[in-house]
A and B are shown apart, each in its own frame.
Chain A
């Protein structure tokens, strides 16, 4: 079995566009492994050690080197439920947390003034009371619910910690250091979209009240996430991360103003010092890829979602790194032979010279996201072919 250090070196070489001893293979997962192990999230939270044991079964059956982000869960719908929120609800498969963004009550246009005049009062009080109905309860009832949520959180943390322990024991690593306080850029406009106004209303605001949006962005930019000076200690690479949420819906002028200019102003100096950034986009964003040709060589790693990697490759060529090879749509609807043929085509096209990581385009969230036999066939093929 490859060691973690060997796998990290494969990864470091690949993103430096040196031909690695083995092409690194990554897989993004959240809820699917738990279904594969035969448990629901509610059962796992009741017995986190047994839950993590079930969750980790995929480590024995799917050969891969790394997770770009980590396995495990970021959100536990049962805890949201205890707090009186439906922001995340349990999927019908019992493992997949459904983000109820459409049903979320965001700030109204009239509340911009409160946001601009007293951002903490809106974000950490008014918004919180709106999202979590426990604060409508009398003190003692609300406290009992909060305590119940704390006990569930203790198990939830233990569940995730045990998943991480087992992953390390099986020699797999997690590449992006955003949870270790590394560089992470989410454009303020995406923060407004995700947490304050929702997608539709944020896009409306850009036309009807751009001055309010710009004023709110100034407030958000005044609260940068602190950078841990030791975020890359001991690693053979330095990777930050950025994400697209609203960016896929912007016109070029808006994209330049709300993402490209602030992102490059802040992080180009780091890239010139050798830090690379992973871009994880949601949706289709091929129209923005050409901008990145202006950045230092090999400074970006693209995790596409809906876009065709062969089209992306025509734009970036050897300039940056591409993650591709196991599209969820094919894993879900294709045959084993089709999955293997597609993986081979990706290796043959993208791998020569480095700058390629085999991986999936969307995380395996739920039980029905992909056919198990397709996942295993694609990753078994990739594991063998990546060594040739």
Chain B
């Protein structure tokens, strides 16, 4: 059966996952630029 989960759940996990990028500042920059390009708004964090 198809799962229907909040989109932001995946994006928050990506932001906090250091397995693909160790530097949290770089991770934040990449995730937020992807959010603008592929979602249309920045990820709300904090």
Interface residue ranges, A against B (CB under 8 Å)? 75, 80, 83, 85, 120, 123-125, 127-129, 132, 135-136, 138-139, 142-143, 146-147, 149-151, 153-154, 157, 195
Contacts and interface: CB of A to CB of B under 8 A. Distances in A.
Nearest to B27: A150
B34 A128 contact: no
Given A83-B38, A123-B40, A139-B10, A150 B5 contact: no
A139 B5 contact: yes
Given A128-B39, A151-B20, A154-B21, A142 B33 contact: no
Contacts of A151: 20
Contacts of A142: 10
Contacts of B11: 146
Interface string B20-46: 110000100111011001111100000
Most A Cβ at <10 Å: residue of B3, B31, B33: B3
Given A124-B39, A128-B7, A135-B7, A150 B34 contact: yes
A125 B13 contact: no
Contacts of B5: 139
Contact of B38 (A132, A138, A143, A154): A132
B33 A139 contact: no
Given A124-B41, A142-B10, A150 B3 contact: no
A129 B26 CA distance: 26
Contact of A128 (B3, B30, B38): B38
Given A138-B3, A157-B30, A157-B33, A146 B10 contact: yes
Given A142-B10, A150-B30, 14 more contacts: A83-B38, A123-B40, A125-B7, A128-B39, A146-B11, A146-B14, A147-B14, A149-B38, A150-B21, A150-B31, A150-B34, A153-B33, A153-B34, A157-B33
A154 B30 contact: yes
Nearest to B41: A124
B10 A143 contact: yes
Nearest to A123: B40
8 contacts: A75-B37, A80-B38, A135-B7, A135-B10, A147-B20, A150-B20, A151-B20, A157-B33
Interface in B8-22: 9-11, 13-14, 17, 19-21
A142 B21 CA distance: 18
A157 B27 CA distance: 12
Contacts of A153: 30, 33-34
A150 B39 contact: no
A142 B38 CA distance: 14
A195 B19 CA distance: 34
Contacts of B29: 157
Contacts of B31: 150
Given A83-B38, A150-B31, A154-B30, A129 B7 contact: yes
A21 B33 CA distance: 40
Nearest to B9: A139
A195 B29 CA distance: 24
A150 B7 contact: no
A158 to B, nearest CB: 10
A123 B39 CA distance: 8
Given A128-B7, A129-B7, A157-B33, A150 B40 contact: no
A129 B7 CA distance: 8
B15 to A, nearest CB: 10
Given A123-B40, A143-B14, A149 B34 contact: yes
A120 B41 CA distance: 9
B2 A136 contact: yes
